[in-house]
Structure 1
Amino acid sequence: MQINSTSLFSLQVYEFWTFSTPRIRMLLLCHALTVAVVQTFIFSENRAFARNINFYNVRPPLDPTPFPNSFKCFTCENAGDNYNCNRWAEDKWCPQNTQYCLTVHHFTSHGRSTSITKKCASTSECHFVGCHHSQDSEHTECRSCCEGMICNVELPTNHTNAVFAVMHAQRTSGSRAPALHLPVLSWAFMLLLM
């Protein structure tokens, strides 16, 4: 009769368990339960911490920008949900020919996300924002574009948030109206009093 290594190990465990004292068995059982409880606690803590990421406070690292007015977007391709899309988004600068962050959200008639794509986009890619319902597949596609550093946190779900959101035009230093400084104003006031 030949005994393979698995059978030999099983036999040794059986003999140890059968012939060891109840006290040793109790200590081993307590040790195994303690290890299991500690591992469960550690894994649940890490999961709870990961689920509580605030994507609105995400700040890109202070690495040098590749060109003036550089920006980053959350980026993912066909993700299953918004949380995982944002959490595992690539951290890279958008190409110079893009100005906006695009989000495309596909979901069922019950509101369950089926596909999420986020990326850097050009102006032409942002012309088709809004929601479109497909009669054939009973799915809805909502698209939104935004301007700014990692601005595409949320998903578009209806016509009120599936929009093209741009920041207010900022004045350049050449187009700004001249500002009167306090010393000039005080000097003019003194002239009036004389």
Structure 2
Amino acid sequence: IRKKNADKLENAQVSMLLFYHMLAIVFVQIFIFSGNWALAKNINFYNVRPPLDPTPFPNSFKCFTCENVVDNYNCNRWAEDKWCPQNTRYCLTVHHFTSYGRSTSVTKKCASRDECRFVGCHHHRDTGHTECVSCCEGMICNVEIPTNHTNAVFAVMHSQRISDGSRWTVNIPLLASVIIILLL
């Protein structure tokens, strides 16, 4: 009887272990593939990390770049991922919008200091549109669009810029998989 009870207990433990293992696999798969189910509007443009590829020259940087795109979201979403030329130092954003605040055109690009001297907002009476221009210094710093005099500015960093290519990042699905495997 003891042997029979021990066999039943062992079978139950094996079944429970298999159940937990399958549950862990399902959890990991759902976690990994859940990113594909999210709507594209949930993209976090603030969490953009510089690429690990070598920079073309010291203090190189990238900006969101687009030309006459209908709104900020589409500009950031489809922006080219390329290094700015060596003769530039800033990211420029030009935003055209109606008197109701609806965007009509967004242009973002790498810029020199000369191109950044026209920051601010200017209302065009003949068309009724407003144009706001901003410049910023730093890696992909032109996430937002200028909409008024408080954010249509020339923002520069006062500290020395350094490349942060050795920064560690965590791959959440991989970390979750390792933890679950270790628990089993």
Q: Which residue of 2 aligns with 1:65?
A: 55
Calculate the TM-score normalised by the size of structure 1. 0.63
2:100 alignment counterpart: 110
Say which one has the larger Rg: 1
Q: Report deviation, 1:83.
A: 0.6
CA 1:57–1:138 in structure 2 vs 1: closer, same or farther (change >3 Å)? same
Please list every run of 5 or more consecutive structure 1 residues that lacks an aligned counterpart in the other structure.
1-44, 172-194
User: Do the aligned partners of residues 47 and 155 (structure 1) sit closer, same or farther apart at CA in structure 2, a change above 3 Å counting?
Assistant: farther
Higher relative contact order (CA 8 A, sep 6+): 2
Cα displacement (A) at 1:48? 4.1
Alignment counterpart, residue 133 of structure 2, candidates 136, 143, 148: 143
Q: Which of 132, 140, 143 is residue 122 of structure 2 equivalent to?
A: 132
Distance 2:87 2:142 in 1: 18
- Counterpart for residue 56 of structure 1: 46
Correspondence for 1:185: none
- Cross-structure match for 1:37: none
The amino acid of 1:167's aligned partner reads M
- After TM superposition, list the pairs within 5 Å mapping 1:1-194 onto structure 2: 48-170=38-160
Unaligned runs of 5+ in 2: 1-34, 162-184
Aligned residues: 128
User: How far apart in 1 are the matches of 2:103 and 2:80?
Assistant: 21
DSSP-derived class of the 1:127 partner: helix
Q: 2: CA distance between counterparts of 1:125 and 1:131?
A: 15
CA distance in 1, matches of 2:130, 2:38: 31
Tell me the TM-score normalised to structure 2 length.
0.66
